Amino acid sequence: MTLHLAVALAGDSFAADHWIDQVGQADEAGLDFVTFDDTFGRHGPDAVLLASRLAPLTRHVGLVPVATTTHTEPFHLSTALATLDHVSRGRAGWQVRVSHDPAEAALLGRRGPLEIGETLAEASDAVEVVRRLWDSWEDDAIIKDVATGRFIDREKLHYIDFAGAYFSVKGPSIVPRPPQGQPVVAALAHGPDIWERLDADVFFVTPADADHAAKLVRRIAPEKKVFADLTVGGHAPGDAATFNGTATQLADLIQNWWAVSGIDGFRLRVTDVAQVTDELVPELRRRGLFQPSAKTTLRERLSLPVAVNRYQEATRA
């Protein structure tokens, strides 16, 4: 078993070549995935559209854009992310984010900001709606029956009939079920209000040291994947522990944390992917800590279970 390795990218460049170069390096190095930061108030490219632009130019690396649930319709999120999964052939993910910033609310003009508890409750409903919409087409719903002139078996499309405090969505989706069934859902979790309320597959945590990481892992459900965020020198300081040192020293830290804490991997916040790919990845491989996966989908790379279609199973029951 080897650890998982990812990078978090942020930036305001609209130059395609910049992103192609950065994500291309991650792809060639065999990193498990790249996350793309985004907020409503940020100047820069839309993260989901950016990931879709990069999908046909990469072969292995997972593409996980941030998309905010607050002020956003989950139907639109589901179709955009399902499309990303199709164009990447099963390498899509989604980092869920909420917003309770009055300035961001004003940008959209739909309503005022919500309190943090409400934004999380709304996000929980949004994730549920998105997941149901991804399941609303059975895997074999497209039949392309020339003899009868039918393209879709309508019996294999399902209404999701979701009615909650924040959304009322009938469905089904307008995009066929994603190749992964369920693209990987992730969230940055600073506490139990996130990991206990959001139905995510992967949680990013921000431990101060290996012991802190171990405590967080013990508090999160064992079927979830837990990645420790580390800020690698030069990146803007934030909520994660910051590392400044050589690649060998960073490999020492990663080896110690992984051995002690039980985390599944690391997401390194960097300004340049070369900070990871040039020296760190070779050093981790030399130590036998990291081995690029030959799996073709992001779910498989992260050893997540096959996504069972809830409606298909209900029909067969």
| Average predicted confidence (pLDDT) for the chain | 94
Q: pLDDT at residue 13 above 80?
A: yes
Q: Tell me what the mean pLDDT of segment 65-76 comes to.
A: 96
Q: Tell me what the mean pLDDT of segment 67-75 comes to.
A: 95
Which pLDDT belongs to residue 112?
83
Q: Alpha-carbon distance 92 to 130, whole Å? A: 14
Q: pLDDT at residue 316 above 70?
A: no
Query: 57 is written with which tokens?
Result: 């130019």
Which pLDDT belongs to residue 233?
84
Which pLDDT tens digit goes with each residue over 162-201?
999 999 999 999 999 999 999 999 999 999 999 999 999 9
CA angle, residues 31, 33, 39, in degrees to nearest 5:
140
Which pLDDT belongs to residue 109?
87
Which pLDDT belongs to residue 312?
85
pLDDT band for 234, please (50, 70, 90 cuts). Answer: confident
**Whole-number percent of the chain with pLDDT over 90:** 86
pLDDT band for 291, please (50, 70, 90 cuts). Answer: very high
Q: Tell me what the mean pLDDT of segment 9-23 comes to.
A: 96
Which pLDDT belongs to residue 213?
97
pLDDT band for 146, please (50, 70, 90 cuts). Answer: confident
Domains defined along the chain, listed by start: 9-188 (3.20.20.30)
Q: Tell me what the mean pLDDT of segment 113-118 comes to.
A: 89
Which pLDDT belongs to residue 315?
64
Which pLDDT tens digit goes with each residue over 246-271?
999 999 999 999 999 999 999 999 99
Q: pLDDT at residue 147 above 80?
A: no
